[in-house]
A and B are shown apart, each in its own frame.
Chain A
Amino acid sequence: MEIVFDNVTKNYGPINVFRDLDLKIKAGDFIFVTGPSGSGKSTLIKMILNQVKPSSGHVIIDGQKLSEIKDKREIDRIRKKIGVIFQDFQLINDLTIEENIALALDIVGYPEDKISSRINEVVKLVKLQHRYFLFPSQLSGGELQRASLARALSVEPEVILADEPTGNLDPTNAWNLIKILQEINEKFKTTIVMTTHNMDFIESLDKKVIKLDK
């Protein structure tokens, strides 16, 4: 999946977030998006998800301008190809981790008879195999972030958007998460777009960086 920002400007009322942003994210890229708070890192992620629309310019995914898509189902189809990891996890609190992942798989139309085995695979990958039957309120911050990653991975996405995924984690858990993302990127050629303001990751890993200014 190729993601292009073509001359995108975004204003929230009088506040300008980006002006004339041009960028291209190719399939298989691992990209860090960095910048101070309020520089528009989360807005960039939300624009890819069509949660937020540009004030001018276009976000283009696989050659389709999101703003020109009339059929809402097409947006749903694009979202199904994207796995999202949120800073605040965004897990459904009254479903277990297993049910949260099953819901994501059901949404993308994963074969019903393979859902259980797919859940087992991803919880092992993120090392949550002994905790996935618990509710989000019963897990620690690191475990919740891994659960969120497991949900994103489960649907075998073409792109993973990670919005400050290490923001609530201690350094060890944060590095573990980065390692898993790196592994997925290398192994499955999944595009990773990760927002962060942790310069350690950016300096330690030789990845593309998009720096947004306030």
Chain B
Amino acid sequence: MKLFKLTLHHIRRSPFQSLIAFVAVFLSFSVLNTFVYLNRGLNHVLNYFETKPEITIFLKDGLDAEKITALEEEIKTYPQIREIRKISKEKALELYREMNKNNPYLTEMVTASILPASIEISANDPRVLEVIAQKFSSKSEVDEVIYQKDIIQSLLNWTKIIRIFGIALVVIFLIASFLIIFSLIGMKITNRKDEIRISRLLGASQFYVKRPFLLEGAIYGTLGAFIAFLSSYLTIFAFRHSINHFFQPIIFVNEFSLLDILILIAELLFGLVIGLSASWLGARRYIKW
């Protein structure tokens, strides 16, 4: 009797037990996928801020052009400055309208006079920005200095917390899946001990009688991982536009790429290892004759 046919026969003989093992692996990998995609998105956010070292100096109202030019000239004296962009009140209004073009209620009441003028500075070396931020925040012409380092630090803290929480949760779920498959294979071996004993008397090797149980574990592991990937992927990509819109201009969820295929392959292998090792240990523990 062919191995695969015999294994499917075993699965069909106890469908509910098999379903429990499958669901356990499915849930574990769904949690894993959620954290993998969340982590990828947060990395995009971090990258966005890290690759654009910038500070924005908001100016007080009523400054004349000379004072603003003097500030610009002073900034230019710092090394490693890449770009200095002066945003007038009118330009700030234009940018604000562009950002909120789909929401006329937010643009109707806003005029240029209530928005502050600002100077945006980007640099090749973020350390320069730190010096500028310290120096300019105490100037009388400056209302506020926003430095992205604080945002990055805050994001890094959140990412770290999410990663630790995610890893802990995934580890707990995977251990549970492992134990479920291990116990399930043990139960199935006990149920089929007559079949195993008869096969051994007919000359079947230990490995021969273990094979269907090993394959069964491998099926739970890989199938659970595959369906979990597929459902997580489809769910995330169904909401991709909404998520990306929320985080714009940052692309939080990418198009399907080679990295997704690599993640799928890695998860299938991981599922295979979990299913196979749990069933191997179960078979080793319960098949002794």
Contacts and interface: CB of A to CB of B under 8 A. Distances in A.
Given A72-B206, A108-B203, 16 more contacts: A49-B201, A51-B201, A77-B203, A78-B203, A80-B202, A81-B203, A82-B203, A90-B194, A91-B198, A94-B13, A95-B9, A103-B202, A107-B199, A107-B202, A107-B203, A151-B202
6 contacts: A79-B200, A79-B202, A90-B194, A95-B1, A107-B203, A107-B208
A91 B195 CA distance: 8
Contacts of B208: 107
A92 B194 contact: yes
Nearest to B6: A103
B199 to A, nearest CB: 6
Contacts of A151: 202
Interface size range of chain B in the complex: 10 to 19
B203 A103 contact: no
Contacts of B9: 94-95
A102 interface: yes
Contacts of B2: 106
B1, B2, B198, B200, most chain A CB atoms within 10 A: B1
B112 interface: no
B204 A76 contact: yes
Interface residues of A, number: 27
B231 to A, nearest CB: 33
B250 to A, nearest CB: 57
A84 B201 contact: yes
Interface string B194-225: 11001111111110100000000000000000
Given A90-B198, A92-B195, A92-B198, A76 B1 contact: no
Contacts of A108: 202-203
A106 B203 contact: no
A104 B199 CA distance: 7
Given A95-B1, A102-B1, A107-B208, A76 B201 contact: no
A212 B150 CA distance: 94
Interface string A139-173: 00000000000010001000000000000000000
A106 B205 contact: no
Contacts of B202: 79-80, 84, 103-104, 107-108, 151, 155
Nearest to A90: B198
Contacts of A78: 203
Contacts of B201: 49, 51, 79, 84, 90
